[in-house]
Structure 1
Amino acid sequence: MKYNKFYVYALAAFLTTGCATTPTTTTSTTAEAPVADADRLREAAPKYAATITAADLSKHLHIIASDEYEGRDTGSKGLQMAAEYISREFKEDGLVGPVKTNSNPYYQPVNLERSQWGEGYLMVGKQKFMMGQDFFVLGASPYQTEQTAEVVFAGYGIDADNYSDYANLDVTGKMVVVLGGEPKSADGKFLVSGTDKASDWGNDFRTKRNAATKRGAKSVLVVTGTNAGEFTTMTQRYRNFLTRPSIGLKGNGAQGGATAAMMVSPQVGAALLGTTPEKMLAYANQVAKAGKPTAGTFTAVKDVKVKTERNSTALPSENVLGYIEGTDKKDEVIVVTAHYDHVGIEDGEIFNGANDDGSGTVAVVELAEAFAQAKKDGFGPRRSILFMLVTAEEKGLLGSEYYANNPIFPLENTVANINIDMIGRMDFDAEKTNDQNYIYVIGADKLSSELHQINEEMNQKHVGLRLDYKFNDENDPNRFYYRSDHYNFAKNGIPIVFYFNGVHADYHKATDTVDKILFEKAEKAARLAFHVTWELANRDNRIVVDSNKK
């Protein structure tokens, strides 16, 4: 699971099950035609769920989480070995490689690059502000060489249906300065939501960056904190990573046409707007009094130069895909994911990532094998299923983001995403009582009430885990809903369910090893994922998208 650098991110699942009962209908391997009756397929499900075993999960995990795979860091030899292992399993089980444009149809190449900041500064007249001290760039930059910039103020940088700072404002090609957070009314309610709860406009800088991109801005500078001390505190985590190389999607950010985002101190913001930090921040009072977007009275300075150099090299990697074509509803697709990368080697120690996310990876491999066997027996899924192991989750959910931007199957035909990220351990709370019979379920009700109901029903009927929704709370400070690969589907309106076992003492440490995996627990979680996938693939009606929770 993605380590929390910007918010705080994590994981999913558990235990063994007695669902290996024989279906009441005959699951003959000599079925003359594929079964397309939902009830008959439901009766057949336990037979194939029973093929997902602790022993098989252990067999796979002892290979991909071994020292030989060197921690599966993105772009490494070890991750390439894991890709080869997974694709070989898919091929042997009879899954199809769906990437027709690639020489290896099981691989979707992901265009990554490793980059590091070079020289960076912002000149306002004769005043020089330094990157890494006075401002930080989030993502790539359009200012590889020194350039002049035309500055414009855009309030809070919000562009919603009921509140837009961009009305009658031309920001094309310009440097847009906006305040952090989001506006409140005189009675303390947020103007965007009309309630006391903040929205993504205040919680996620990417929302403002995306709005600026749509309006054609070259960069958006978010004023962070109310004084120099607050800015330093709020950006400490960025300082820690400034000198380290990072990995991102090639072309993400301004070089690829998207707006660059920067966090700037109040001093920088005020200098660009020709005012003082106090007067700039007093804009919030004007908006609160008006109760609507208000034009700023600042006169942006004219003499602005900026340079934020970023040096990059290509880093090839790939998502690994295995496909089972459906029968009468084959144009609709269920996507089952886990990330197969981890963090590699640090200070000479191998971080095997047995639970994160080796446990999810081998679960997906086992689910794929179970569905492939069902298809061979004439009980193949009505809807198509894409099993996908994604790269670079640990670097910022990059493999799944790349797929969402370059889908092999249209997103509008994608019914749901089942994501499995860490299912083989107990977290701190569970360890106190040795409670292995639980799984954290996250996101199932966010977009579809039916997906939540299906997950509950499948668990009650077949598995018997304790479903824990603690981390599904919209006010959960861990924000796990935003921290694994399912989020790149959810933000495109695709219902998701995320299985996760919580955080344990070995999370992102060299001690996350195979010997600590509770394989019976992982088996039970994998079987729940199987049954939910089976029901989604075979029910008569596509699940509804009828909610939009956070």
Structure 2
Amino acid sequence: MTSQQLLLAASLISLPFASIAQDKFANTITAADLEKHLRILAADDMEGRETGTRGQRKAADYIASQFTAEGLKPIVKEADGKLGYLQPYTLYKKNWGDFYVSAGGKRFEPQKDFMPNGLLYLPTETTYETVFAGYGIGETNYDDYAGRDVKGKAVVVLDDEPKAADGKKLVSGTSDASKWGGPNGWRAKSLLAKEKGAAQLFIVSAESAEAFKQLLTQRSAMQARFNRLSLKPGAENVGSVGVFLITSDMAAALLNTSAATLNQTMTQLAQATKPIASSLTGSIEMKADRVDEKTESSNVLGFIEGTDKKDEVLVVSSHYDHIGISADGQINNGANDDGSGTVSVLEIAQAFAKAKAAGKGPRRSILFLTVSGEEKGLLGSQYYADMSPVIPLEKTVADLNIDMVGRVDDIHLGKSDNYIYVIGSDKLSSELHKISEETNQKYIKMDLDYKYNDPQDSQRIYYRSDHYNFAKHKIPIIFYFNGLHPDYHKPTDDIEKIDFKLAEKSARLVFYTAWEIANRDQRLVVDSNKQ
């Protein structure tokens, strides 16, 4: 037998043992251990882990203690020159100062008469002409902006999207909401308004004061997360398009008309199959001043050094923050969002630490990155990737991000729960996508659902978790996700509803995928740009 034949035979013999080694360490990731960690991180005394609060700091300390216990290296340089697990960063809370909209002799105020969505800074009173633009939709078959000049104006539009008599949406021609409808339709409408040159956008989202109060309650979590914190102080977004949810009564005042006339126009629009001409216009004065307030937060980093390829680093990430305590005093424990992802990272880190202790450590280094600030706009991962990457981005080979993997979503209720949404695996690297599918087929055999990987996804899930701050730097990513559920961003997202066997299976899939990436001969090739 030649030396080459001996080498080939040895390699073939070693393959089953390599697989056995992986299985041994993957099997240390258990439902029981995931539950043990989550009962601590999603407990009431963590106070909902809101970024910048005592509960968030307590959660950070717990994660750091687990990294210490498992022997992960601290990698963040501290002020005294020592290395630690916490990566501190400063955030600036944008509190409203003098903020109002005046029209028709009436003064309207935030959270009482209207709800601002997003960051706006307008330090001096400014006058705008107002114009009504139907539903604010811009499609070939339904264009509310056709023939309308809205440049520099405040545009008033209706929420949701028009329907035909049979209930089907006019834009899509089906019963499914298009990007213009549903609770996130305002995103598409605001982007289009900005594209058309509008200065402000007012969306009629409630027809009465009582309905508006309900809207405030329903969207309190959204208000808490929308750009209330920033990584930079000062007056950013001066002159940006503000988005406001308002009542029909306020809309009538903005358009210098009566509630009855506006309601008649709204009824005509609802009954029509195409946009209708409207001469409703008016004038407003508004001011939106903001004041900075500092708050401190931190990411938590644990590091396992590789062997012959240790200068190349794989990131495994999650966010450990949540939305804190509601106005009515209820604690949002965030068991699924993203307690499930964070405890998965802890278990995967433990598995790799055990492998390293047994002499089976990864060839590439692995950074276990748990971030805060996600619920405030992906700020913790933005700080890491844009401002202070502990590992240079050019040495970062991929990010495997885990967010909300402990629940079965409405789409899969009553069906198989052996699934996970895989998002972004093919966006930047065809190799990563292939590794993802082959690893799953070899070890886990979950149904990989690509619903939210669709570029036309109206939820825009690809852009809504921390992996995106790596993807925008052309670093390949996979986002693991089990979908939305009725308890999303509510106090009812509690540990009793977590499917720990599902979370175990998902975490093991991430472990096996990380093992393949960390131990392959060649670094992943970036050969695609489907973002």
Q: TM-score, normalised by structure 1?
A: 0.64
> Is residue 52 of structure 1 aligned with residue 29 of structure 2?
yes
User: Residue 509 of structure 2 aligns with which residue?
Assistant: 528
Which has the higher relative contact order, 1 or 2, with Cα contacts under 8 A spaced 6 or more apart? 1
Q: Deviations over 1:171-216 (max 9, x none)?
A: 46x544455456899x98866x798865434443233434555777
Give 1:204-223 correspondences, 5 Å limit.
204-210=185-191, 218-223=199-204
> Is residue 262 of structure 1 aligned with residue 244 of structure 2?
yes
Select which of 127, 148, 169 maps to 1:148: 127
The whole-number CA distance in structure 2 between the counterparts of 1:106 and 1:94 is 9
The whole-number CA distance in structure 2 between the counterparts of 1:498 and 1:124 is 47
User: Residue 224 of structure 2 aligns with which residue?
Assistant: 246
Given that 1:342 and 1:394 are in contact with CA atoms closer than 8 Å, whether structure 2 keeps it comes out as yes
Q: Given the superposition, is the C-alpha separation of residues 274 and 60 from structure 1 closer, same or farther in structure 2, using an over 3 Å criterion?
A: closer
Amino acid at match of 1:246: A
The whole-number CA distance in structure 2 between the counterparts of 1:447 and 1:194 is 30
Q: Given the superposition, is the C-alpha separation of residues 480 and 221 from structure 1 closer, same or farther in structure 2, using an over 3 Å criterion?
A: closer
Question: Secondary structure of 1:421's match?
Answer: coil
Deviation at 1:316, TM superposition (A): 2.1
Q: Given the superposition, is the C-alpha separation of residues 87 and 216 from structure 1 closer, same or farther in structure 2, using an over 3 Å criterion?
A: farther
Give 1:75-474 correspondences, 5 Å limit.
75-90=52-67, 93-95=71-73, 97=75, 106-109=85-88, 111-112=90-91, 121-132=100-111, 134-143=113-122, 146-151=125-130, 171=151, 175-178=154-157, 180-181=159-160, 199-202=178-181, 203-210=184-191, 218-224=199-205, 228-229=207-208, 233=211, 236-238=214-216, 246=224, 248-250=228-230, 255-257=235-237, 258-269=240-251, 271-273=253-255, 277=262, 278=264, 288=274, 298=279, 300-302=281-283, 304-308=284-288, 313-323=293-303, 334-342=314-322, 356-372=337-353, 374=355, 377=359, 379-382=361-364, 385-393=366-374, 399-400=380-381, 408=389, 415-423=398-406, 438-444=417-423, 454-463=435-444, 467=447, 469=449
Deviation at 1:369, TM superposition (A): 3.7
Q: What is the count of residue pairs matched by the alignment? A: 495
The whole-number CA distance in structure 2 between the counterparts of 1:333 and 1:206 is 35
Deviation at 1:530, TM superposition (A): 0.7
Question: Secondary structure of 1:262's match?
Answer: strand
Q: Given the superposition, is the C-alpha separation of residues 77 and 122 from structure 1 closer, same or farther in structure 2, using an over 3 Å criterion?
A: closer
Q: Deviations over 1:97-119 (max 9, x none)?
A: 36899987644445545667677
Q: Deviations over 1:238-262 (max 9, x none)?
A: 2566799935323799942143211
Given that 2:374 and 2:466 are in contact with CA atoms closer than 8 Å, whether structure 1 keeps it comes out as no
Structure 2 unaligned residues grouped into runs of 5+: 1-10
Question: Secondary structure of 1:52's match?
Answer: coil
Q: Given the superposition, is the C-alpha separation of residues 355 and 345 from structure 1 closer, same or farther in structure 2, using an over 3 Å criterion?
A: same
Amino acid at match of 1:74: T
The whole-number CA distance in structure 2 between the counterparts of 1:268 and 1:58 is 49
Question: Secondary structure of 1:380's match?
Answer: coil
Deviation at 1:317, TM superposition (A): 1.7
Deviation at 1:351, TM superposition (A): 6.4
Question: Secondary structure of 1:93's match?
Answer: coil
The whole-number CA distance in structure 2 between the counterparts of 1:385 and 1:41 is 19
User: Residue 6 of structure 2 aligns with which residue?
Assistant: none
Q: Considering only aligned residues, what root-mean-square deviation do their CA atoms show, in Å? A: 5.9
Question: Secondary structure of 2:75's match?
Answer: coil
Question: Secondary structure of 1:246's match?
Answer: helix
Amino acid at match of 1:319: N
Among all aligned residue pairs of Structure 1 and Structure 2, give the percentage whose two residues are the same amino acid: 37
Q: TM-score, normalised by structure 2?
A: 0.66
User: Residue 3 of structure 1 aligns with which residue?
Assistant: none
Question: Secondary structure of 1:236's match?
Answer: helix
User: Residue 497 of structure 1 aligns with which residue?
Assistant: 479
The whole-number CA distance in structure 1 between the counterparts of 2:84 and 2:459 is 35
Deviation at 1:73, TM superposition (A): 3.8
Deviation at 1:67, TM superposition (A): 6.3
The whole-number CA distance in structure 1 between the counterparts of 2:41 and 2:235 is 36
The whole-number CA distance in structure 2 between the counterparts of 1:158 and 1:406 is 37
Amino acid at match of 2:321: D
Q: Deviations over 1:361-402 (max 9, x none)?
A: 2220232343455567475255x6442212244566654566
The whole-number CA distance in structure 2 between the counterparts of 1:199 and 1:412 is 40
Deviation at 1:419, TM superposition (A): 1.2
Given that 1:141 and 1:253 are in contact with CA atoms closer than 8 Å, whether structure 2 keeps it comes out as no
Given that 2:300 and 2:369 are in contact with CA atoms closer than 8 Å, whether structure 1 keeps it comes out as yes
User: Residue 7 of structure 2 aligns with which residue?
Assistant: none
Question: Secondary structure of 2:439's match?
Answer: helix
Given that 2:100 and 2:286 are in contact with CA atoms closer than 8 Å, whether structure 1 keeps it comes out as yes
Amino acid at match of 1:126: G
The whole-number CA distance in structure 2 between the counterparts of 1:200 and 1:80 is 37
Question: Secondary structure of 2:121's match?
Answer: coil
Deviation at 1:415, TM superposition (A): 4.1
Given that 1:109 and 1:319 are in contact with CA atoms closer than 8 Å, whether structure 2 keeps it comes out as yes
User: Residue 9 of structure 1 aligns with which residue?
Assistant: none
Deviation at 1:234, TM superposition (A): 7.3
Given that 1:72 and 1:342 are in contact with CA atoms closer than 8 Å, whether structure 2 keeps it comes out as yes
Question: Secondary structure of 1:263's match?
Answer: strand
Deviation at 1:441, TM superposition (A): 0.9
Question: Secondary structure of 1:442's match?
Answer: strand
The whole-number CA distance in structure 1 between the counterparts of 2:146 and 2:443 is 52
Deviation at 1:489, TM superposition (A): 5.7
Given that 1:322 and 1:386 are in contact with CA atoms closer than 8 Å, whether structure 2 keeps it comes out as yes
User: Residue 10 of structure 1 aligns with which residue?
Assistant: none
Amino acid at match of 1:141: L
